[in-house]
Amino acid sequence: MNGTKLPDGGVIYDESEEDDDEILAPESVSEGSAAIDWNEALKNESGLNGAELIAEFVKHLPNAPGVYRMFNEAGDVLYVGKARSLKKRVGNYAQGRVHSNRIARMVRETTHMEFVTTRTETEALLLEANLIKRLRPRFNVLLRDDKSFPYILITGDHRAPAIFKHRGARARKGDYFGPFASAAAVGRTINSLQRAFLLRTCTDSVFETRTRPCLLYQIKRCSGPCTHEVSDEGYAELVREAKDFLSGKSQNVKSAIAMQMAEASEDLDFERAAVYRDRLAALSHVQSHQGINPASVEEADVFAIHHEGGLSCIQVFFFRTGQNWGNRAYFPKADPQLSGAEVLNAFLAQFYDDKPVPRQILLSETVEEQELLATALSEKAGHRVSISVPQRGEKKDLTGHVLANAREAHGRKLAETASQARLLQGFAETFGLPYMPRRIEIYDNSHIMGTNAVGGMVVAGPEGFVKNQYRKFNIKSTDITPGDDFGMMREVMTRRFSRLIKEEGLPDRSTAAAESEEAADVAFPAWPDVILIDGGQGQMTAVRAILDELGIRDVVTAIGVAKGVDRDAGRERFFMESRSDFSLPPRDPVLYFVQRLRDEAHRFAIGSHRARRKKEMIKNPLDEISGIGPGRKRKLLQHFGTAKAVSRAGLSDLMAVEGISEAVAKQIYNHFHENRAG
């Protein structure tokens, strides 16, 4: 399924394509895993389940390290665990040695197990973390927010290096500095570095076409290397200073600039001295926004956990080159009966599964597998990694500061969760639902005169908006009259619920009330309890017709939200089956809640529409030709200059381009000349 990131962090998924995500087999995840596969030998053909089944498996297991997976009858992975000895560890489940009622339920639901042996326990630890992140088992501690961290990139493949924010693979040549905790932290730092070092932020294509300096040069945010306002040697010196500053040599850089400012003042060149003064102020601005910068911590990640009320908050601070590069709070999904140390222990291996590991990790409390984790991360990183719990001095104060931040974030999260639960309960009472909804889907359409029409679906639950569940639907039907909102909604509903029935089957509503009460122990549902439609009676008629056709009218509660008189917020009318349309009191908290849901759907639909419209505007005609990938496209544009020139080229001209064979040249030529005679 293809996804497009929105500026606010949401993800647009195109429902027009089938999912082709593939879970790698454990053997392919870890090259160090042993080639022995016990799964064929341990097939469950006896019809047993629970502890009896596990006892049968234990008879054949080796006394060796490895990873085990527990499955339920539907084939879903319930739990992934690692063991120094598979025989002993799995044997504990068969003997009833469980930690909680939740684990006892996991054992009862187990109908199959699979195993992979590894050479060492450290390999088992890394493989376990990888599988947990990929499979997201219901009974494991899960790292829920796992977005990649942004970096600062100073490019190294151009005569005038640029400074950019970067995420993802480090494919481009250059120097990478990070990780930073958030895109906002990177943005603030780059803005200050622009003022301090006057590095360009334009793309290479813009750089090459400049004939005069841009606005950034005029406001002293760039030195103008595009039009040689600064010499190549002078610009290279600015780049070197920026790299030194980001590499931890900030004091040396500031001292050098201060010296240059003093020299300019002595020469009575006050204009040049003012430039150096502004650069020093920008550097001070960077460091003032970094907060605490401990002298004894050069490169470290600092973790602190606050565990209370069934909720865990793990706060992480990132220190690189002696500078604080931000912090982030995580709220992993975990059994409330686990201790804070147990949650932190499970969290750490998952956290570093796909992230660079610093040389030092500081913790607020000791975890059980501290030495094993340090050994595993050292092997993974290729350098020594120390994990410690500071007992005194500056590092102790630092972990205390991080722990205080964890407590504050924990308190805010608890308040938000309680408020959301009250709103959902009030929503259920207001609209006469039999239980508190766990999944609400809100739909809206966006288009301009029917063009680039997009349907948007946002999802809300007990913890607020669930952005990884958002979906977009590019309206593709040729039978829909441009601007026909009813027709668009019919297409969206048909595609959404036809696919849901195919992939998930019909939901069992008999257990919905119990699952709503035990939401912490139940996976987030795929089926919505309620769908909110931005529209009135006409939209609801179209939606009910689709629900009738699919046989799910009694499965999902549909509610229409129509804008009130003069489209004023607070005067919305609500439409439900077997109930006259009605309004809510202007200051009703449930009304504000519904307005927030509708506004989020509207924002998402507009964002999806704009993204599609922008894609259409910048689409290159060469993209439509089968067999023309990025490489050939680049060669053609380098040779001819524009796609229009390619469309006018003859066969012999096309064949003169490197990498373009006679067959490909004919394909390109025919694409642009298919409607011409001869």
pLDDT in tens, 632-645: 888 888 888 777 78
Q: Which of 111, 135, 159 is the last residue of a domain?
A: 135
Are residue 450 and residue 313 in the same domain, yes or no? no
pLDDT band at 512 (very low <50, low <70, confident <90, very high): low
Are residue 165 and residue 312 in the same domain, yes or no? no
Residue 678 lies in a domain: no
Q: Flag the least confident range among 47-51, 281-285, 591-595.
A: 281-285
Mean pLDDT, the chain, as a whole number?
A: 80
Are residue 88 and residue 72 in the same domain, yes or no? yes
Are residue 610 and residue 632 in the same domain, yes or no? no
Q: Which of 381, 412, 443 is the last residue of a domain?
A: 412
Q: Reduced to 3 states, what is the DSSP secondary structure of residue 651?
A: helix
Residue 588 in tokens: 């009703």
Determine the pLDDT at residue 66: 92
Q: Decide if pLDDT at 439 tops 90.
A: yes
Residue 422 lies in a domain: no
- Sequential DSSP letters for 348-359: HHHHTSSSPPPS
Are residue 446 and residue 556 in the same domain, yes or no? yes
Residue 426 lies in a domain: no
Determine the pLDDT at residue 616: 64
Percent of the chain with pLDDT over 70: 82
Q: Which of 377, 412, 447 is the last residue of a domain?
A: 412
Cα maximum dimension of the chain: 93
Q: Which of the given ranges, 28-32, 389-393, 515-519, has the highest pLDDT on average?
A: 389-393
Residue 532 lies in a domain: yes
Are residue 534 and residue 450 in the same domain, yes or no? yes
Tens-place pLDDT, residues 19-35? 333 333 333 344 344 43
Query: Domain tally for the chain?
Result: 5
Residue 427 lies in a domain: no
Q: Flag the least confident range among 257-266, 278-287, 310-319, 329-338.
A: 278-287
Give the helix/strand (H/E) hosting 589: helix 589-617
pLDDT band at 663 (very low <50, low <70, confident <90, very high): confident
Compute the residue count for the chain: 678
Q: Flag the least confident range among 227-236, 322-331, 354-363, 514-523.
A: 514-523
Question: Checking phi first, is residue 458 left (phi over 0); if not, alpha (psi -120 to 50) or beta?
Answer: beta
Q: Decide if pLDDT at 523 tops 60.
A: yes
- State mean pLDDT over 115-131: 91
Q: Reduced to 3 states, what is the DSSP secondary structure of residue 452?
A: strand
Distance CA 224, CA 367 (A): 53
Residue 17 lies in a domain: no
- Which one-letter DSSP state was computed for residue 59? T
Are residue 505 and residue 625 in the same domain, yes or no? no
Domain with 64, as residue range(s), is 25-135
Are residue 41 and residue 179 in the same domain, yes or no? no
Q: Decide if pLDDT at 91 tops 90.
A: no
Tens-place pLDDT, residues 219-233? 888 989 999 898 989
**Sign of the Cα pseudo-torsion (651, 652, 654, 658, in order):** positive
CATH number, domain at 107?
3.40.1440.10
Are residue 224 and residue 319 in the same domain, yes or no? no
Determine the pLDDT at residue 178: 78
Distance CA 88, CA 76 (A): 24
Residue 536 in tokens: 């009135």
Determine the pLDDT at residue 558: 92
Residue 584 lies in a domain: yes
pLDDT band at 516 (very low <50, low <70, confident <90, very high): low
Are residue 446 and residue 594 in the same domain, yes or no? yes
- pTM higher than 0.85 for the full model? no
Are residue 669 and residue 643 in the same domain, yes or no? yes
Are residue 442 and residue 590 in the same domain, yes or no? yes
What contacts 421, CB < 8 A, 6 or more positions away? 436, 462
Q: Please report the beta strands in 535-589, taking only residues with DSSP state E, as ranges in sequence order.
A: 557-562, 573-576, 579-582
What contacts 409, CB < 8 A, 6 or more positions away? 306, 313, 315, 329
What is the phi/psi pair of residue 153, to 5°?
Answer: -115, 125
Residue 247: other Cβ atoms inside 10 A: 15
CATH number, domain at 472?
3.30.420.340
Check if the beta carbon of residue 200 is closer than 8 Å to that of residue 177.
no
Residue 3 lies in a domain: no
Q: Which residue in this structure is represented by tokens 């392919």?
A: 28
